[in-house]
Amino acid sequence: MSLTRPWRRTRLGARTGTPEDGLKSSVFYRIASILLLLFAAGHTFGFRQNNPEWGADAVLGLMRSVHFDAQGFSRTYWDFFSAFGFFVSVFFVFAAVLAWLLSALPAETLARVRSIAWALAICFVAITALSWRFAFTTPIVLSTLITGCLIAAAWLSPKSRSG
């Protein structure tokens, strides 16, 4: 066995690049993945919570009680609120899995899918902007950290070697 292997194998058997060729990006992808799972869990268990100090009981009651027909289904605004909240949680879990998978790619493959890495990072730039505009401290902090990790990972990802 050579002591100067240009690659190493992960526990799952995937090849990763040399430290200067993408290992640093994998650390940022894994950090982002863990933060995304925390964000998904917090969002899932928290988005339908109500604190009586907020004075939102009357609004929430109306959201739950007023039914209307939506393409043949009897729904409430609470149903829509809940559905879209769960959609966000599912997206965060998907993004966490995607980030983890990107972290395990060999450097050559990661270079080929760099546009996917940047698309994910740009998506989270938008989520961070929306968090700053409409949310509060926890989603602002998490989305900012995730965005920073995804931008760093995309930036550090190996570039395609043409020619």
Residue ranges per domain, the chain?
Answer: 16-51+87-156
The better pLDDT of the pair 15, 81 is held by 81
8, 33, 117 from 13: Cα distances, Å: 9, 20, 22
Model pTM score: 0.83
Q: How far apart are CA 128 and CA 138, in angstroms?
A: 11
Closest CA to 107 of 4, 34, 26: 26
pLDDT greater at residue 13 or residue 66: 66
Q: Among residues 139, 135, 132, which one has the least CA distance to residue 42?
A: 139
